[in-house]
Amino acid sequence: MTSISFLTVFMAFIFSIQKASNLHIDDENLLSDLNRVAKPLTPSLEGNLNEILEVTRNKSIVALGESTHGTKEFNDIKASIIKEMIKFQNLKVIAIESEFSGLESLTKYLMEDPDDLNSEQVVVADSIRSYIKHSGLYGIYRTQEIYSLIKWIKEYNLTKTRAERVALVGIDMQNTSLIISSILKSSYLINKLSSDDLKLFHKMEELFKFVNYPKISKEDLGALLMLLARLKENCKKNLGQSCREIDCQYVKLLEQSLQLRKKKLSFHLYGCYRDKFLAENVLWYFQSLNNGCKMALWSHNGHIAHAKVSKMDRMGLHLRSELQEKYYALAFTFDSGSVRIYDFEGDRKYKEFFYSSTENAKAIEFLFKKIKYENFFLNFKELSQETQHSINNFKYMRVIGATHQTAPKKDYFLQPMAKSFDGVIFQKKTQAAVNLF
């Protein structure tokens, strides 16, 4: 080997050692700051929620995310946070990622007085189960943990006046048939429909009942869109008189739903539209609240993020634009454990799928599992700017939706943590949510 080539190799070797050393120093500084700010969470959560509640105190909408829809610990912790905000922070509405129209019967049940109970303190558990079973609550949320929260809300509401009670509402608009059903139950809207209008609505209600993209003739679609425009104009003119806010909202929901369903959209465009509409429906509920009242939002991390995710403007981005710092997005993620997911490919029922420890070195979970606490809460504003920048270099995070992916790489989306959220709750090991039915 010549002296020049030896020198080249030697210098490259020295540089690689220095680079590795610098990275090690950077990692130590990063972990040191994360360990400084991380607040440990114990399984009982006793005394652990104070830090979280202090952060949410002056927020108007607190969004509680989830990297999966089927993790028991996420459900339990979110339920605990919600209960504390109800008791101490004037939380009045919990908006969950389920159908707006589909949750109306359950919402009404939770808000109304008991009809045939002798004691206001008594709750018939079977009736709550029945309302859940026949509601539009998505299957991802039909779990023992969420049932327990709903039961607690009912018991709480029975001790309060109507004005003091807490509502659980849906914000989604994907089920066109359910929305049409709501319109047909509106005394104001149905009086504005001719016999031909009613026939068209009933036809569309049936067409959309079992198919997301039914075959609709150009004539029927044109008539439906004209009818929708007429109802929208009528509501606008008569709002506050004979027309109620909810009547206008039903029409808006149908407009949203048809934007998604009248023709098949790309995954990207569908996501952009849906998240925009989710934000509009959240704000519709929020604007009905009295001053000083708070709202909680229960949805996937991908929706609550206040940044573009996979080039989509997410619901959280729209809400942050409207509410600025009054919107707080709290992500939930994990390292390993079981998840309750619907098995579309096999048994066609909810079952447990196991996810092993994160091996993706570019994922935020790969960093978080090195923090000294197994379970913790991080509020990003308490981190140094350098640390916030550094954790954004871990550009991927787990995004496990309604289906199980056999290829692990499909479980990670490009979603820089500190840009997308205000805080995070991390669980090192998790269990699957427990089936209700």
H helices of 38-68, where?
49-56
3-state class of 353 per DSSP? strand
Residue 115: which pLDDT band, with cuts at 50, 70 and 90?
Answer: low
Closest of 86, 104, 102, 68 to residue 149, by C-alpha: 86
- What pLDDT, on a 0 to 100 scale, did the predictor assign at position 314? 95
Report, as an integer, the average pLDDT of 285-302.
94
- What pLDDT, on a 0 to 100 scale, did the predictor assign at position 2? 52
With contact defined as beta carbons under 8 Å apart, do 30 and 387 qualify?
A: yes
Report, as an integer, the average pLDDT of 1-25.
45
With contact defined as beta carbons under 8 Å apart, do 298 and 97 qualify?
A: yes
Report d(CA 258, CA 173) in Å as an integer: 9
Q: Is pLDDT of 25 > 60?
A: no
With contact defined as beta carbons under 8 Å apart, do 141 and 156 qualify?
A: no
Percent of the chain residues past pLDDT 90, beyond the cut: 76
Q: Is pLDDT of 247 > 50?
A: yes
- What pLDDT, on a 0 to 100 scale, did the predictor assign at position 121? 42
pLDDT tens, residue by residue, 348-375: 899 999 999 999 999 999 999 999 999 9
Residue 16: which pLDDT band, with cuts at 50, 70 and 90?
Answer: very low
pLDDT tens, residue by residue, 27-59: 788 999 999 999 999 877 777 799 999 999 999
Instruction: Output DSSP code: residue 346.
Output: T
Report d(CA 168, CA 156) in Å as an integer: 13
Side-chain-side CA neighbours of 264 within 13 Å: the count stands at 5
Report d(CA 315, CA 313) in Å as an integer: 7
Report, as an integer, the average pLDDT of 268-283.
96
- What pLDDT, on a 0 to 100 scale, did the predictor assign at position 118? 44
As given in the structure block, the two tokens for residue 328 are 């707080």
Least confident piece of the model among 62-76, 112-126, 320-334, 340-354: 112-126
- What pLDDT, on a 0 to 100 scale, did the predictor assign at position 396? 92
With contact defined as beta carbons under 8 Å apart, do 391 and 417 qualify?
A: yes
H helices of 305-422, where?
315-323, 364-368, 385-392, 417-420
Least confident piece of the model among 114-128, 211-225, 373-387: 114-128
> What does pTM read for this prediction?
0.90
Closest of 243, 221, 216, 240 to residue 232, by C-alpha: 243
Residue 117: which pLDDT band, with cuts at 50, 70 and 90?
Answer: very low
pLDDT tens, residue by residue, 192-204: 999 999 999 999 9
Least confident piece of the model among 279-283, 306-310, 396-400: 306-310
With contact defined as beta carbons under 8 Å apart, do 62 and 286 qualify?
A: no
Question: Which residues does 7 contact at the CB level (< 8 Å), separation at least 6?
Answer: none
- What pLDDT, on a 0 to 100 scale, did the predictor assign at position 44? 73
Report, as an integer, the average pLDDT of 328-355.
94
H helices of 211-311, where?
218-238, 245-261, 267-286, 301-304
- What pLDDT, on a 0 to 100 scale, did the predictor assign at position 405? 78
Q: 335: part of which helix (H) or strand (E)?
A: strand 327-342
Report d(CA 37, CA 290) in Å as an integer: 35
| Residue spans of beta strands (DSSP E) within 56-146 | 61-64, 91-99
